[in-house]
Amino acid sequence: MPADLDAQFAFLAEADRLKSVYRATTLHDGSRRENTAEHSWHVALYALVLAEQAAPGVNIDRVIRMLLLHDLVEIDTGDVPIHSANGAAHASLETQAAEQRAADRLFGLLPADQAQAFRALWDEFEANETPDARFAKSLDRLPPVMANLASGGGTWVEYAVTYEQLEARVGHKIARGAPGLWDWVQGKTKAWFSARP
């Protein structure tokens, strides 16, 4: 229906703004900060590549759909770096309330049935309880670790993060939905933190 297409293209045009939301994490080569649109592509690719690390029964295509949508709310809220405010800002009640308002507005641009379906998927991701959401949330924590390892420390240096803080804020969350991945990454991060200047 043309009315649906009007709404869908309005949503897709609004989504373009995610390319102008910048995160604390840099590209692997350290040349600039990463934006949330390209992060969303990269983490969806992580899901495709690392699918066999998911728990039995995880539907990777649902995980990919979640990851394509998961950060759209940042169009309104911006990115809240996980290590900012000594780790306290990222999941604050204030941040969560702002994200809920953003989800209302953004998914509300779509035709009603699609708005409901996308919102349900985003709510499921945020709740972090189903196997699909847990794997998606674990994957979402990984690319910044890999970028920091590649770029000489990145946000760990910027925010003076210790290995213990990394393990508490990031490692345990990766391990919850993807223990095999944390096993692999933990070795690399421990080596980096013990050799840090």
Q: Check residue 111 and report its DSSP letter.
A: -
CB 97 → a second copy: shortest distance, Å? 25
CA distance 140 to 9: 27
Shortest Cβ 125–a second copy spacing (Å): 14
**Which residues fall within 8 angstroms of residue 103, CB to CB, at 6 or more apart?**
72, 73, 119, 122, 123
Site for a second copy contains 8 (CB under 8 A):
yes
43-51, 82-90, 97-105, 154-162 -> range binding a second copy (CB under 8 A): 43-51
- Per CB under 8 A, which of residues 17..36 are in contact with a second copy? 17-20, 27-29, 31, 34-35
Residue 163 is encoded by which pair of tokens? Answer: 């290995």
Cα–Cα distance for residue pair 184/166, rounded to 1 Å: 15
82 near a second copy, rule: CB under 8 A: no
The reply on whether position 48 binds a second copy by CB under 8 A is yes
Note whether 95 and 84 are within 8 A (CB).
Answer: no
Of 98, 105, 64, give the one whose Cα is nearest residue 80: 98
Location of structure tokens 């993060």:
161
Nearer to a second copy, 6 or 129 (CB): 6
Beta carbon of residue 86, minimum distance to a second copy (angstroms, whole number): 28
Binding site for a second copy (CB under 8 A): 2, 4-5, 8-9, 11-13, 15-20, 27-29, 31, 34-35, 37-38, 40-42, 44-46, 48-50, 52, 61, 64-65, 68-69, 110, 114, 143, 146-147, 150, 180-181, 184
